[in-house]
Structure 1
Amino acid sequence: MIFKRFVNLLVFLFLLGAGLLTFFLILSGGRESGTLDGFYWLQADTSGFNSAPATTRWYNYNWCGYEDGQLANCSSRAPAKPFSPRDNFGDSSNLPSSFRNNRDAYYYLSRVGWAMLLIALFFIVLALVPAFLATFLPFKSVPVLYCVLSWLAFFFIILAACLYTGCYVKARKAFHNGGRSAKLGAKNFAFIWTSVFLMLINAVWSTVFSATHKGRSSYSDHDMYAQYESPSVDTGAQMEKSTYNSGTTDGVGPGPVAAAPVIGQPQPATQAGDGKFFQKLKTRKHAPSSEMEPAGDGGLAGPVTVRE
């Protein structure tokens, strides 16, 4: 148990790390100076593309010219700024043919990839709560929720990584085929694939932890059956005894109270007279139907006549 808690806390740190890396990727291009200016997706030679800078870097929110180690001539900032040299700089004869013929592929790969990155970050944040609570709470539902959220976060982060990689690797190849220099942003791709690796470990461990967790549900079977448990024989005897001792007779004081009659069984008489009376009734009930003739003048009983 101690080993599982230790591993769970370690994997929880992996989850935190994946969330932090994904957050930095979301902020790519958020500022034109400071640390964030090094988080770009692609840097390429764009000289001759109408009014484009000689060297351009593409971010999530804009693209900027890069000269002497500084960013300049940046575009307007907008969420999910598409990567498409044809849309960014206008059509030009100097553009590689891939950017003119496959404009939609670059446009939608970059935009959808950013959306998948946002969804992945959302599920990573949601998974943090059950991931932490699963270490300490005994309920079975918490590890299951942790497992589901981890796999959802992993699915969207790997989808975003594949979309971004496919888009910018294809673009780098197009620049190279046109005789132009281009390189991928090492930090962004290192961060996104590291997040994929950390989320894979997290998803696998959450599955193992959920399958081997021996917690109880929030409303256990023991509690459910306890509500419908029938009273035992001893409990019934105690209740009958308590009823017997608490009865009264003719208002004088506590006395015995007759138990409820049971159909099909002879009942004990409460008094001696009553017992003889009910015994006579029972005898007459089961006796054969007959009558005694009235006695004669001498007062002696006559012969018995049985009526058929």
Structure 2
Amino acid sequence: MNKFFTSLGPFVLTAGSTLLLLLVLLSGTYDHTPLDELFYLEADTSGISGAPDTSRWTLWNRCSVRDGDNYGCTSNKPAYPFQPQSNFGTTSGVPSDFISNHKTYYYLSRFAFAFYFIATGFSAFAFIVGVLALCSRLGAGLASFFSFWALITSATAVSLSIATAIKGRNTFQNAGYNAHIGVKFFAFSWAVVAILLLSYVGFTLACCLGRKKNRHLGDLSDEPVMAEKSKRKPFFRRSKRDKGITDGESQEQVMIAHDEEPSSHPTYSVPSENDTGVPPLNNYEERSSFERGSFRPFQPRNERLSNEPVAV
């Protein structure tokens, strides 16, 4: 399968996740659609002194509501803490749980912003490196790495923000106020998690499928190369196998040539035990190097006596 088309799907998904993360991260910062429609919690605050009838909380500020959109937002502040008593500057009418457990809401909301910010950075890096993934395994591996961490950080951010929203909603409702979480905000957030999961799997497959198969597992693409290498002989010396075959062939050719040519060397008779009274020699004996002009393999003495001519 072509690497370009294998990595194209994860690349497009990463672009989508980066766009959604930017929308979630910048929610409430501008009075324009869709940013003015995103919030993680909306509650009835008419019973709180100095607060509007309905309030919405985003990652950057607190807003009022007009025609279903964010309106009259406070100045943008990164990691805006969710603390109604601090947000409105009063404790009158504020549910008691917000006051007694103010640190819990404070750290949940602020860490949620931090992880959204980190997730956006990882997703952006995965998108940029994804361009290299269209043509190389290295790019796919790097994009898979950044997609993985974008997935982890975004899932953490969504978990923290939804914990903040649900805990705040329950506290408002227990105090008799109407409250609900932002559907679009968390729909975009969970969509980011799902998209990054698919993107991570896609880049990982693009990286792994491009790797060459092991020839021991049936890949025949390297067999011609291996066969060509096996035909090559050592440059400075011959292998033991080739040397043995060559020497054996040469020795055989020399012996045949000497057998065909008449011997110019004199023959010598070998005295027997009856003539000399000397006991016979061992079964294996080295023959004269001058005999027939070459060396021959060792033979038993009895066989040599039967094969060699005896001078009379």
SS of residue paired to 1:40? coil
Cα-to-partner distance string for 1:251-286 (whole Å, 9 max, x where unaligned): xxxxxxxxxxxxxxxxxxxxxxxxxxxxxxxxxxxx
2:190 aligned with 1:187:
no
Give the structure 2 partner of residue 276 of structure 1: none
Is residue 63–residue 70 contact of structure 2 (8 Å, CA) maintained in 1? yes
Partner of 1:159: 156
> What displacement does 1:70 show?
5.4
Q: Matched residues, percent identical?
A: 36
Partner residue of 2:165 out of 160, 165, 168: 168
CA distance in 2, matches of 1:115, 1:24: 15
CA distance in 1, matches of 2:185, 2:191: 10
Equivalent runs, 1:1-308 vs 2, <5 Å: 1-2=1-2, 5-69=4-68, 71-137=70-136, 140-214=137-211, 232-233=235-236
For these two proteins, the number of residue pairs brought into alignment is 219
- List per-residue Cα deviations over 1:156-209 (Å, max 9, x = no partner): 111111110111011111111111111111111110110000001112222233
Distance 2:165 2:94 in 1: 16
Q: Which amino acid aligns with 2:143?
A: Y
Within 2, Cα distance between the matches of 1:161 and 1:119? 12
Offset of residue 24 of structure 1: 0.6
Q: 2 CA distance for matches of 1:134 and 1:110?
A: 35
The answer to whether the 8 Å contact 2:37/2:68 transfers is: no
8 Å contact from structure 2 (residues 10, 200) kept in 1:
no
Answer with 203-212 or 104-113: which moved more.
Answer: 203-212
In the alignment, the residues of structure 2 paired with residue 132 and residue 175 of structure 1 have an alpha-carbon distance, to the nearest angstrom, of 47
Q: Which moved more, 1:38-47 or 1:198-207?
A: 198-207
What is the DSSP-based 3-state SS (H/G/I as helix, E as strand, rest coil) of the residue aligned with 1:52? coil
RMSD value, Cα: 2.4
* TM-score (normalised: structure 1): 0.65
Equivalent residue, structure 2, for 1:301: none
Q: Which amino acid aligns with 1:232?
A: F
Over 3 Å counting, the alpha-carbon distance change for 1:17 and 1:48 in structure 2 is same
After TM superposition, give the deviation of residue 75 of structure 1 in Å.
2.0
Q: Which runs of 5+ in 1 are unaligned?
A: 216-221, 223-230, 235-308
Report the alpha carbon displacement of residue 109 of structure 1 after superposing the two structures with TM: 1.0
Question: What's the secondary structure of 1:232's corresponding residue?
Answer: coil
Q: Which runs of 5+ in 2 are unaligned?
A: 213-224, 226-233, 238-312
Q: 1 CA distance for matches of 2:204 and 2:182?
A: 34
TM-score of the aligned structures, taking structure 2 as reference length? 0.64
User: What's the secondary structure of 1:51's corresponding residue?
Assistant: coil
The structural deviation recorded for 1:85 is 0.6
Give CA-to-partner distance per residue, 1:88-130, whole Å, 9 cap, x none: 1134242222211211111111111111111111111111233
- Equivalent-residue separation in structure 2 for 1:212 and 1:70 (angstroms): 48
Give yes or no for contact 1:143–1:213 (8 Å, CA) kept in 2.
no
Instruction: Provide Cα deviations, 1:49-75, integer angstroms capped at 9, x if missing partner.
Output: 120111001122211122454544432
Q: Is the 8 A contact 2:56 2:62 kept in 1?
A: yes
